[in-house]
Amino acid sequence: MRLKDKVGIVTGGSSGIGREICLKFAEEGAKVVNADVRKEPREGGEPVTELIRNNGGDAIYIETDVTKKESVKQLVNRAIEEFGKIDILVNNAGVYYPKPLHESSEDDWDKIIDVNLKGTYNCNKQMIKHMLDKDIEGKIVNIASIASIVGWENSPAYCASKGGVLALTRELALDYAKKGININAISPGVIKTQMTKAFREDEEMHNYMKQSTPYKRLGEPKDIAHAALYLASEESNFVNGANLVVDGGWTTQ
């Protein structure tokens, strides 16, 4: 078991990539906290923390809005009350609303930057404070995107937010390496989740995305969960400030 005796928070764990990361971490022995603004939905099977507990694992859901500092503070306090400490944080909560810049409002911009970038800032900050307080050589994984490396049409705020996540990851990795905290990013390509449902339902777009991927397929949430497991485990102890691109080769072209 690669995460035995570890406690991990996954933001946005109620669906898609986050849900799969929760399941993978639990399978590897971690106690898991799903921190999502959305209660765990019942459609498509058991809610994730219930599923983990039914399989003999340990997991709780804590309603959290990553855009709100007080909500994130409460998340950290409640997770510590429940499990005593936190070793791992995966900043996965994210939103995507496509619109070209000239048609989008300031509100459109704020909504995306608030969740994707400010949410990542809020969670890193509270978690790093806890790790420093308790001398925990912890692991933080920030979910960026290939949109942080290459342009993605009609997504100005999304690209800016994810570029910011990468830059923040590199900076924090430098500051906290001396404390033994690893901070890395993952940049997923196109993954089959709710976020990409509209794209995938458009046949032309779906084919374009498959053809644009050298493996000629889209990614599965578990492709990202495996990468998150590596970055959360001791196997990545000498990896810091890295961006692990999991995109089937999209950005190598």
Ligand X SMILES: NC(=O)c1ccc[n+]([C@@H]2O[C@H](COP(=O)([O-])OP(=O)(O)OC[C@H]3O[C@@H](n4cnc5c(N)ncnc54)[C@H](O)[C@@H]3O)[C@@H](O)[C@H]2O)c1
Catalytic residues: 158
66 touches 42 (CB < 8 A): no
CB neighbours of 94 closer than 8 A, spacing ≥ 6?
Answer: 12, 115, 116, 119, 143, 195
Nearest Cα neighbor of 89 from 130, 59, 38 is 130
Helix (H, G, I), strand (E, B) or coil at 62: strand
Of 160, 195, 205, 239, the one binding ligand X (CB under 6 A) is 195
> Is 115 a residue that touches ligand X (CB under 6 A)?
yes
CB closer to ligand X, 64 vs 104: 64
Which of 15, 122, 169, 213 contacts ligand X by CB under 6 A?
15
Q: How far apart are CA 230 and CA 75, in angstroms?
A: 24
CA distances from 73 to 130, 143, 165 (A): 10, 20, 20
Nearer to ligand X (CB atom), residue 134 or residue 217: 217
Applying CB under 6 A, the span of 25-33, 91-99, 132-140, 173-181 interacting with ligand X comes to 91-99
The yes or no reply on residue 17 touching ligand X (CB under 6 A) is yes
Three-class secondary structure of residue 242 per DSSP: coil
Of 78-86, 89-97, 124-132, 238-246, the segment contacting ligand X by CB under 6 A is 89-97
Nearer to ligand X, 8 or 94 (CB): 94
In angstroms, what CA-CA distances link 250 with 55, 147, 190, 216, 242? 36, 11, 9, 10, 18
With residue 28 as reference, give the H or E element that holds it: none
Residues 51-70 that bind ligand X (CB under 6 A): 64-67
Q: Cα–Cα distances in Å, from 186 out to 4, 59, 239?
A: 22, 23, 12
Among 16, 47, 138, 164, binds ligand X (CB under 6 A): 16
Please identify which residue in 23, 32, 36, 183 interacts with ligand X, judged by CB under 6 A.
36
Total interface residues for ligand X by CB under 6 A = 30
Counting contacts by CB under 6 A, is residue 11 touching ligand X? yes
Residues within the interface to ligand X (CB under 6 A)? 11-12, 14-18, 36-38, 64-67, 92-96, 115, 119, 143, 145, 188, 190-191, 193-196
